[in-house]
Amino acid sequence: MNQSALLRPDWTPATIALMILGFMVFWPLGLAMLAYIIFGDRLRGFKRDVNQATDGFFASCHRPHGRHRSHFSTGNVAFDDWRKAELDRMEEERRKLDEMREEFDSYLRELRRAKDQEEFDRFMRDRRNAKRDDNGPVAEYQTP
């Protein structure tokens, strides 16, 4: 099991232990871990939105100095057209990769859900079979 699977934003034993340890050491750490467990799935989209907003802000503040004018005309129309076409092609590839990554992430979420459902169904089936074998309540549920 890799490290990212241990610390996924979900109620896993590792995240619960880290949250408790965080509260014991310094309460804001525990609170941060609790926020990660609850809102962690939304962090990727939030990070992407913040990065896009920041990039847009700094792109508008960008002022060319001397030779470092990468977004402006070089004076050679053929080169400028080629450069624009290449940048557009790379942006399209980046968009396709982002879409594929989002599809894969949703596939993994669905796979985890199906695995959890399968484990739950197996538990319920085993529990029912144990009750049928004993013709009564399961031994660990009996009161003395």
Question: What's the pLDDT tens digit per position in 34-79?
Answer: 888 888 777 777 777 878 888 877 777 665 554 444 567 888 899 9
Among candidate residues 65, 1, 59, 12, the one with its CA nearest the CA of residue 40: 12
**95 — pLDDT class (breaks 50, 70, 90):** very high
The Cα 7–Cα 15 span in angstroms is 6
Buried b (16+ CB within 10 A) or exposed e, 99-131: eeeeeeeeeeeeeeeeeeeeeeeeeeeeeeeee
DSSP state, residue 142: -
pLDDT of residue 4: 54
Among candidate residues 39, 41, 37, the one with its CA nearest the CA of residue 12: 37
